[in-house]
Amino acid sequence: MSRARAHLYIEGIVQGVFYRAFTRDVATRFGLHGWVKNLPDGRVEAVFEGEKADIEKAIAECYKGPPAAHVTNIDISWEPYQGEFNGFEIRYY
């Protein structure tokens, strides 16, 4: 297995629709660590760390989002695994 880190910027109707809670639940389901937060420009930012295959599954779920969301784009940057997180949290800016 290969550990990885993905940094995501999610665009669309993703604030005020429980997107952060959805992302936290997805990360927990796939055993990923990291965080998610709203950005002032209306996007959501997230970092996933874990097995690359599990991150790819989580990203596929992020494209779907919760029922009220409408994701138009996800900008994904793959980064080296750092192992700096002990769980997955919702951050507030």
This prediction has a pTM of 0.96
Q: Look at residue 60 and tell me if it is in a domain.
A: yes
Q: Look at residue 19 and tell me if it is in a domain.
A: yes
Q: Look at residue 93 and tell me if it is in a domain.
A: no
The confidence score (pLDDT) of residue 53 equals 98
Q: Look at residue 76 and tell me if it is in a domain.
A: no
Q: Look at residue 3 and tell me if it is in a domain.
A: no
Q: Which of 5, 24, 38, 43 is catalytic?
A: 38
Instruction: Reply yes or no on whether 5 is catalytic.
Output: no
Instruction: Reply yes or no on whether 86 is catalytic.
Output: no
CATH of the domain at 22: 3.30.70.100
pLDDT along the chain (93 residues), means of 10: 95 97 98 98 98 98 97 98 96 86
30-45: buried (b, 16+ CB within 10 Å) or exposed (e) per residue? bebbbbbbbeeeebbb
Q: Which of 5, 20, 24, 43 is catalytic?
A: 20
The confidence score (pLDDT) of residue 1 equals 72
- How many residues comprise the chain? 93
Range of the structural domain that residue 43 is part of = 9-69
